Amino acid sequence: MKKLWMKKLGLILLVIVSTILFAASATGLIYGVYDDMFKSNKTFFGSLLCEGVADTYEEDFLDYYNLITGYDNNISGESAEVRLKRYEKMFSKENCNVSISLMRADEVIFSNFELEKYSYESKYLSYSTYPRVTIVMRIAPEVHPGDMIYTYYKLWSFLHDYSFLVITALVVSLAAMIYGFCKLCKLAGGKGRLSLFDRIPFLITSGVFVGSIGIIIYICQVLCVELSYRTMDAKAPLYILGAVILTSVIVSALLMLYFTSISRRAKLKMLLKTTLLYYVFTFLRNLFNLGVKLTENVSGVLKSIALVVLLVLGDILLAIASDGEITLFVFLIHVIFLLVLLYFLLCLGAIKKKLQSFSKGDFTKKLDGDNMFGSLRRCVDDINSISDGVQAEVVRRMKSERMKTELITNVSHDIKTPLTSIINYVDLLKKEELENETAKEYIEVLDRQSQRLKKLTDDLVEASKAQTGCLTLNRTPIDISELLKQVVGEYSERLSEKDLNPIVEDDTGGVTLNADGRLMWRVLDNLFSNVCKYSLEGTRVYIGMKKIDEMCEISITNYSKYPLSTIDEDELFERFVRGDASRNTEGSGLGLSIARSLVELHEGNMELKIDSDLFKIKIMLPLI
């Protein structure tokens, strides 16, 4: 991180220095081209710069003359004595390279000093005095240090003699500036988020940036002109250079801020999303969505009426604006449009109503499409075809389910008769005194398997009756808390054998259900049987009861010894599905299916949740 900041700081300094050098060299090059500085026969004394600098002496020299003659116009705010001493020093031959003479009728009336030889001369009539005087300015071929003529002479000579260095500095500084900007833009956006400045719309950012650059450069230009022509200080070029440097620093900072912002927006794919057009589009879209949300519960007919009102108001305003010339034609077009729209809305309303009945499971009624045409008619035909297909499939499924249930019931009944005989004869054989030990083992196996088969057939019959609703409920008020305690007590021995610790939490305070006690016992019996079969040994089993509004919630939570992550929750409620995929344990896979069917007969519901190996059953039953 520290190295990154050092790198950024180095690049920022590179950009600032290169911008300053570029601005200075570009300014010198532009001025040199403007003043024909790069011609070989051109000299400082024939340049516009020399003329402009010499002209700056006029006002101060006239003030000097007025002080000598006794007239004080106080142009600087200083006292006459202080100004006079300053002017004497300023225009002395030792400190000034410009010989200035005031002439009237070819007679010199005042001069600071005379020059026999000179390389520059200018004469013009002054309008600042009355009567008028001619001002003659001359500069000697050899200038000496002391005033700004010398400073500008040296600067001009340097640019003239070493123009190749100026061009080289311009090219190198431009390359360094571009390199620094490119590297800074590459490093920008490293944190992966936009700054507050980046969130300003791009068009506004660009406008403010261009405007700021223009204003800053204009201020710098005005300041340089004022410093060039309004001061005679020898340090005037340094002041100008300082103004150029300050402007370059501000401009380079703005450029870095602007281009790094563009880079961050582009890297985060937010350049388009921060444009003013995108903000306007987002605002209009949100406004449209708000309108849709506010009117989503309003019928299509009411929306049409609202549209009619708006169009009528528009027609009235149009009639007022056009003196009623085109209102009738526009009104007729609007009426036709609204009639067509109303027709389509009525048709769509009928289709929507039919689809809502589909969602509720009603496929019996067909949609009348005789009064519709085109795509609407084809849409109605397709919906009716779907309705017929779904209804036919439902009938087929119901028939298949009924046949399957009847098959299971009939087969179960047919098996029960010979199975009863087998059980009876096995029971008789157990009472016989057999000496063969192997035969006794065979009889025990027959007895165990026949009892298992008997339980399976009983479960099949009961599952079929429960699912088809053929069971008769003998409802009586029962205390579900007591019933649950009895079941826990009944299974306490089996739970202990599996090293399972039941924890009962009853928060109901005693509630009563209007239910069939025998069937409710069967529900709890099936659930606790599964707990004993499939729970991980040495774990806790949580049995909870609580009252929620007018319902009683019973929950049983245990840890499965078998992985359940690959089993779907709803799949466990299907018949013959078991948590033990290898089917090595006892059971038929009908316990949960029977339990849910019996709960639904009591107008309740059963839910199952699996979280890794945590298995939770929740039963909701209505209270009295």
pLDDT above 90 coverage of the chain, percent: 0
Q: Are 485 and 439 in a shared domain?
A: no
Would you say residue 434 lies in a domain? yes
Domain limit, last residue, from 322, 342, 359: 359
Alpha-carbon distances, residue 45 vs 188, 252, 366 (angstroms): 51, 36, 105
Would you say residue 437 lies in a domain? yes
- How many folded domains does the chain comprise? 4
Domain limit, last residue, from 449, 469, 489: 469
Q: What is the CATH number of the domain that holds 435?
A: 1.10.287
Q: Encode pLDDT of 118-153 as tens digits.
A: 888 888 887 776 678 888 888 888 888 888 888 888
Q: Are 338 and 398 in a shared domain?
A: no
Would you say residue 25 lies in a domain? yes
Q: Are 343 and 379 in a shared domain?
A: no
Check pLDDT > 50 for residue 309.
yes
Alpha-carbon distances, residue 279 vs 198, 202, 259, 283, 434 (angstroms): 14, 10, 21, 6, 97
Q: Are 420 and 502 in a shared domain?
A: no
d(CA 556, CA 599): 15
Domain limit, last residue, from 359, 378, 397: 359
- Beta-strand ranges (E) seen in 381-530 are 476-479, 501-506, 512-515
- Higher pLDDT among residues 607 and 417, named by residue: 607
Q: Are 415 and 545 in a shared domain?
A: no
- For the chain, how far is it from start to end, CA to CA, in angstroms? 70
442: enclosing H helix or E strand:
helix 437-468
Check pLDDT > 60 for residue 298.
no
- Higher pLDDT among residues 461 and 159, named by residue: 159
Q: Are 397 and 504 in a shared domain?
A: no
Check pLDDT > 80 for residue 17.
yes
Q: Are 564 and 589 in a shared domain?
A: yes
Mean pLDDT score across all residues of the chain: 76
> Does pTM surpass 0.75?
no
Would you say residue 485 lies in a domain? yes
Q: Are 25 and 169 in a shared domain?
A: yes
CA nearest 192: which of 102, 269, 294, 107?
A: 269
Q: What is the CATH number of the domain that holds 526?
A: 3.30.565.10
What DSSP designation does 317 have?
H
343: enclosing H helix or E strand:
helix 327-359
What DSSP designation does 199 have?
G
pLDDT attached to residue 581: 47
Q: Encode pLDDT of 184-210 as tens digits.
A: 777 766 555 666 666 666 667 777 777
Q: Are 23 and 139 in a shared domain?
A: yes
Q: Are 535 and 615 in a shared domain?
A: yes
Structural domain for 422, as ranges: 366-469
Q: Are 520 and 401 in a shared domain?
A: no
Q: Are 14 and 148 in a shared domain?
A: yes
pLDDT attached to residue 243: 76
pLDDT attached to residue 225: 63
Q: Encode pLDDT of 341-372 as tens digits.
A: 777 777 777 777 777 777 777 767 777 766 67
